[in-house]
Amino acid sequence: MAQLPNSLEARDVAFQLHSYADARKQEQTGSLVIEKGEGIYVEDVSGKRYIEGMAGLWSVAVGFGEKRLVEAAARQMEKLPYYHTFTFKTHGPSIELAEKLIEMAPVPMSKVYFTNSGSEANDTAIKLIWYRSNALGQPERKKIISRMRGYHGVTVASASLTGLPNNHKSFDLPLPQILHTTSPHYRTMKKDGESEAEFARRCAQDLEDLILAEGPETIAAFFAEPVMGAGGVVVPPDGYWQAVQPVLKKYGILFVADEVICGFGRTGNMFGTETYSLQPDMMTLSKALSSSYQPISALLINDTVYEPIADESHRIGVLGHGYTGSGHPVAAAVALENLKIIEERDLVGHVREIAPTFQKRLAGLADNPLVVETRGIGLIGAAELHHPAHSDTPGSLGAAANAAFQENGLISRAMLDAMAFCPPLIITDGQVNDLFDIAEESLKKVAASL
Ligand SMILES: Cc1ncc(COP(=O)(O)O)c(C=O)c1O
């Protein structure tokens, strides 16, 4: 790409190291500089408009340019731009948001611990789980199980939970206490002749076998997203959660539901926990919590978790953990206003209304010969691509499709060769059709070029 030496594009590659990019490739190709957003659309510096088919990073629930969030931030900035929640200090927005989240929680929860990102929420969950095991006099109960293809973040501990090779390679991860069980992706993981229900039961059996092999007394917790997001949008097979949860109960293993993507409406209920009748002991929330207008995340814990932790902090004299930005007043004020909008506009009801069109159009992508599977629920989905010409280079077909989408005005995300769709929750029926019209046309062009 020809770049003016002083352009934003040139200065970007000169000064910024990007997440999830091949840095050498980016030095050559440059970056896409987004300047503004409105509703489901964003615009780049050249004035080209795109449908933000990923709501940023699965996160801008109420859409771009929501003035009420801007005003909530400005009001809080003027009143109290910063204060913390260390020691015995606190402030109104963090109190109100904690109370609101406990009230909204789909299963009984007791306390909220605020963090700044999904990774930090999961990382904190792991630390508190270890602290609790020590408090209970079970110092051997430290191992944690997550799933292959699960995504839980990128800090040292949360990247270890993440079950994707590129989050481990050359980072010397995962940590030895973190183990991975079978991914619930039926199409790629099923055995010959195995039904979906049989596969779901085998996933639960694999989990139990792992627990028994390691020693049940050494397993502290199981982390899982109700629907896997960044691992390729993997919707669990029928019967999966009904088979998995009793295994956790049987061995007294805590269940942490990572609701960072599913939370606040994405699957057609306020939480994925409701969609799949889950009984987590802890939940992690972020992204749509503030529509990502401000960085904020939250860890919800029930009494089983809180009580021993409270005792241990009393025994030691302090809970030796805390982030400067925990429950930041501006982020908390924005999150509160964002939740108000989600409730007032009944965005969960809206997702249920729009989801049939979204899922029908997603399934329709399978008419393209490149598409080997579509999968989704609510307003999240993916189309998996395959072509023999690309089979030696996983991700190259996804990259080609991504480039075609972008050229035609649609931002998606290629997770290897699975194209993800996760638009703002405010998307209308007509806009869903626009999104998939572009996807269909782009995939036709990519197929024709092969
Ligand atoms: C399910 C899930 N958990 C955790 C995270 C990590 O969140 P963050 O990027 O804010 O650290 C993500 C990010 O995409 C996620 O999708």
- Which tens digit of pLDDT belongs to each residue from 345-368? 999 999 999 999 999 999 999 999
Residue 117 confidence (pLDDT) above 60? yes
- Ligand 1 mean position, distance from CA 236 (Å): 19
With the most atoms of ligand 1 within 8 angstroms of its CB, the residue from 286, 292, 297 to mutate is 286
pLDDT tens profile 403-439: 999 999 999 999 999 999 999 999 999 999 999 999 9
Task: Give the separation between CA 353 and CA 429, rounded to whole angstroms.
Answer: 9
**Ligand 1: residues whose CB is within 6 Å?**
57, 117-119, 122, 151-153, 225, 229-230, 258, 260-261, 286
* Surface-to-core class of residue 25, CB atoms within 10 Å of its CB (0-12 exposed, 13-18 middle, 19+ buried): exposed
Give the whole-number percent of the chain exceeding pLDDT 70: 99
Task: To the nearest 10°, report the CA torsion of 244, 249, 251, 256.
Answer: 70
- Ligand 1 mean position, distance from CA 257 (Å): 12
Q: Which residue's alpha carbon is nearest to atom 4 within ligand 1?
A: 152
- Ligand 1 mean position, distance from CA 260 (Å): 6
- Ligand 1 mean position, distance from CA 23 (Å): 22
**Distances from the Cα of 283 to the Cα of 125, 128, 142, angstroms:** 9, 13, 19
Mean pLDDT in residue range 120-134: 98
pLDDT tens profile 225-248: 999 999 999 999 999 999 999 999
Residue-wise over 359-386: b if at least 16 C-beta within 10 A, else e?
bebbeebeebebbebbbbbbbbbbbbbe
- Ligand 1 mean position, distance from CA 90 (Å): 26
- Ligand 1 mean position, distance from CA 432 (Å): 25
Rg (CA), the chain: 22
pLDDT tens profile 245-260: 999 999 999 999 999 9
With the most atoms of ligand 1 within 8 angstroms of its CB, the residue from 59, 115, 152, 293 to mutate is 152
Helix (H) or strand (E) holding 72: helix 67-79
Pairing of strands 143-147, 178-181: parallel
- Ligand 1 mean position, distance from CA 153 (Å): 5
Q: Which residue's alpha carbon is nearest to atom 1 within ligand 1?
A: 260
With the most atoms of ligand 1 within 8 angstroms of its CB, the residue from 261, 262, 282 to mutate is 261
Give the whole-number percent of the chain exceeding pLDDT 90: 98
pLDDT tens profile 178-232: 999 999 999 999 999 999 999 999 999 999 999 999 999 999 999 999 999 999 9
Looking at residue 2, its pLDDT comes to 57
Q: Which residue's alpha carbon is nearest to atom 7 within ligand 1?
A: 118
- State the first-to-last Cα distance of the chain, in angstroms, to the nearest integer: 23
Q: Which residue's alpha carbon is nearest to atom 3 within ligand 1?
A: 152
Ligand 1, residue 295: give the atom nearest the CA.
Answer: 10
* DSSP single-letter state for residue 39: B
- Ligand 1 mean position, distance from CA 393 (Å): 26
Amino acid, single-letter form, for residue 187? R
- Ligand 1 mean position, distance from CA 231 (Å): 11
Ligand 1, residue 286: give the atom nearest the CA.
Answer: 10
Ligand 1, residue 229: give the atom nearest the CA.
Answer: 16
Residue 442 confidence (pLDDT) above 80? yes
Question: If we measure between CA atoms, which residue out of 395, 441, 437 comes closest to residue 419?
Answer: 395
Task: Give the separation between CA 384 and CA 234, rounded to whole angstroms.
Answer: 11
Residue 1 confidence (pLDDT) above 60? no
Residue 100 confidence (pLDDT) above 90? yes
With the most atoms of ligand 1 within 8 angstroms of its CB, the residue from 59, 126, 167, 287 to mutate is 287
Tokens for 215? 């020693």
Q: Which residue's alpha carbon is nearest to atom 13 within ligand 1?
A: 153
Looking at residue 5, its pLDDT comes to 76
Tokens for 180? 């991975």
As a 3-state breakdown, the chain gives helix, strand, coil percent values, each rounded to 5, of: 45, 15, 40
- Ligand 1 mean position, distance from CA 422 (Å): 14
Question: If we measure between CA atoms, which residue out of 141, 172, 173 comes closest to residue 160?
Answer: 173
State the chain's mean pLDDT as an integer.
97
Q: Which residue's alpha carbon is nearest to atom 8 within ligand 1?
A: 118
Helices and strands (DSSP H and E) totals, the chain = 15, 15
Residue 114 confidence (pLDDT) above 70? yes
pLDDT tens profile 315-344: 999 999 999 999 999 999 999 999 999 999
Task: Give the separation between CA 156 and CA 169, rounded to whole angstroms.
Answer: 13
Ligand 1, residue 228: give the atom nearest the CA.
Answer: 1
Tokens for 355? 């989801």
Task: Give the separation between CA 364 and CA 255, rounded to whole angstroms.
Answer: 36
pLDDT tens profile 145-179: 999 999 999 999 999 999 999 999 999 999 999 99
Contacts of 83 (CB under 8 A, 6+ apart): 89, 90, 91, 329
User: If DSSP codes are grouped into helix, strand and coil, which group holds residue 308?
Assistant: helix
- Ligand 1 mean position, distance from CA 290 (Å): 14
Looking at residue 4, its pLDDT comes to 74
- Ligand 1 mean position, distance from CA 151 (Å): 7
* DSSP single-letter state for residue 237: P
Amino acid, single-letter form, for residue 358? F
Task: Give the separation between CA 145 and CA 349, rounded to whole angstroms.
Answer: 34
